[in-house]
Structure 1
């Protein structure tokens, strides 16, 4: 594990955040999760663009150049084939309910080894269940952000693990399936891709956008439309996306076999071409 706080490297056991920090008191943070292959962080500009927009909307301190430097220096220390990097922004220490001054802001960067789904796992596909709780947005007047108030996703994922499933899918009161606890959702009908519209409850995922770009490169139609629970049973394919798994097909939902198509393979291959260009 590599830990960097405010640009300085620390041993994991020595890394500390004060108990007065807003991350501890109020869960008031913003974060991004990156994937790195070798020493190259993938789609870092896209992640930082989203984080910068979120920071601007919520008034979080955000020194992009300093964070970019910390990311690059951390990447040079990584020695595993694939790594997961978690970047967290906090406002710093609070003395009451007023926001601290901007200079009090902190960032924490943690890098750990991870593994990508292998070919066998992708072919086997993922088992999903429906989350027992609702997706909530603590900032409902704004688009869904990567905010530290993450309890809904934690509880949904805990439910999935108890059921032996890979992911939990959130369903609204109107029976709309919107996203997973850690992933965006796509279905394939014919040669058209459909994904729920990003907004107050659906995160505009970085990998979601890359797959939409890949579809355009392959001359495939991709639409942002409502997906209802019944649509999962008739879709030719279902797959999940996020920055760590890239594309992972779903072959079971609530122990019922679904999907089975292979269009995801073409999308993954097109995505890999984009990644190969970044790795050069």
Structure 2
């Protein structure tokens, strides 16, 4: 494990944050999860753009130049073929409910070795369940962002693990499927690539955008619209996207076989032309 706090590297056992830090007290953080492959951080600019957007909306301190410098100095320390890099911003120490001064802000970088799905795992596909809880966004007047208050996703992800499957999919009261606990959702239905529109309850994922751009280059019909649960189960193809797995087909939902198409493979091949394999 590699740990960097405010630009300085620490041994994991020595890394500490004060007990009055807003991340601990209130879950008041912003974060991004980046993937590095062969000592190259993939789509770093896109991740930092989203982080800055979120910071502006929440009046959250974000010193991009310092963060970029810390990430650059982290790269030579990466030893695994694939690494998962978690970048977290916190406002710093609170002594009341008032935001602390900007100078109190902190950032934390943690890098761990990671594994990508193997070709066989992609061919076999993932099993999923529907989450027992709802997707919530306490700041519903703002676009969805990656915030430290992650209880709904943690609960759903743990539910999936207990069921022995890869992912839990959030469903609304209107029986529309939104996204996974840690992923965006796509389906192919009647030849069209469909994904729920990003907004209050659906994250504008970095890999989601890469897939949409690749689909346009391939000339696919694209629709950003709600996905009904019944339509998902009848789709020719269903897959998940996030920055760590890129694209992962779904082949079972609630023990029911789904999908089987190969559009995901064409999209992954198109994206891999930009992202080293």
Q: Deviations over 1:213-251 (max 9, x none)?
A: 110111111110110100112100000000000000000
- Give the TM-score, by structure 2 length: 0.99
1:188-216 residue CA offsets vs partner (Å, 9 max, x unmatched): 02432100000000000000000001101
Looking at structure 2, the residues matched to 39 and 191 of structure 1 have their Cα atoms a distance apart, in angstroms, of 38
Distance in 1, matches of 2:233 and 2:159, equals: 21
SS at match of 1:49: helix
- Structure 2: how far apart are the matches of 1:48 and 1:132? 32
Could you tell me whether the CA contact under 8 Å between 1:210 and 1:271 is conserved in 2?
yes
Inter-partner Cα distance in structure 1 for 2:222 and 2:8 = 43
**Where do 1:231-270 residues align within 5 Å?**
231-270=231-270
Q: How does 1:1-280 map to 2 (within 5 A)?
A: 1-276=1-276
Deviations 1:161-209 (A, max 9, x none): 1111100000000001000000000000243210000000000000000
Distance (Å, rounded) in 2 between the aligned partners of 1:75 and 1:141: 37
- What RMSD in Å do the two structures reach over aligned CA positions? 0.8
SS at match of 1:30: strand
Alignment partners' CA distance in 1, 2:266 and 2:210: 13
The more displaced of 136-145 and 14-23 is 136-145
- In 1, the alpha carbon distance for the partners of 2:247 and 2:191 equals 17
For 1:175 and 1:227, locate their aligned partners in 2 and report how far apart those are by CA, in whole Å: 9
Secondary structure of the 1:19 match is coil
Deviation at 1:61, TM superposition (A): 0.6
Q: After superposition, what is the alpha-carbon deviation per residue over 1:124-147, rounded to whole angstroms, capped at 9, x for unaligned?
A: 000000000000002111111100
C-alpha distance in structure 2 between counterparts of 1:78 and 1:146, whole Å: 24
Aligned counterparts of 1:45 and 1:239: Cα–Cα separation in 2: 25
Q: Is the 8 A contact 1:138 1:149 kept in 2?
A: no
The CA deviation string for residues 87-137 of structure 1, in whole angstroms up to 9 with x for no partner, is: 000000000000000010000000000000000000000000000000000
Unmatched runs of 5 consecutive residues or more in structure 1: none
Deviates more, 1:184-193 or 1:205-214: 184-193
What is the rounded CA distance, in whole Å, between the counterparts of 2:67 and 2:97 in structure 1?
27
Long gaps (5+) in structure 2 = none
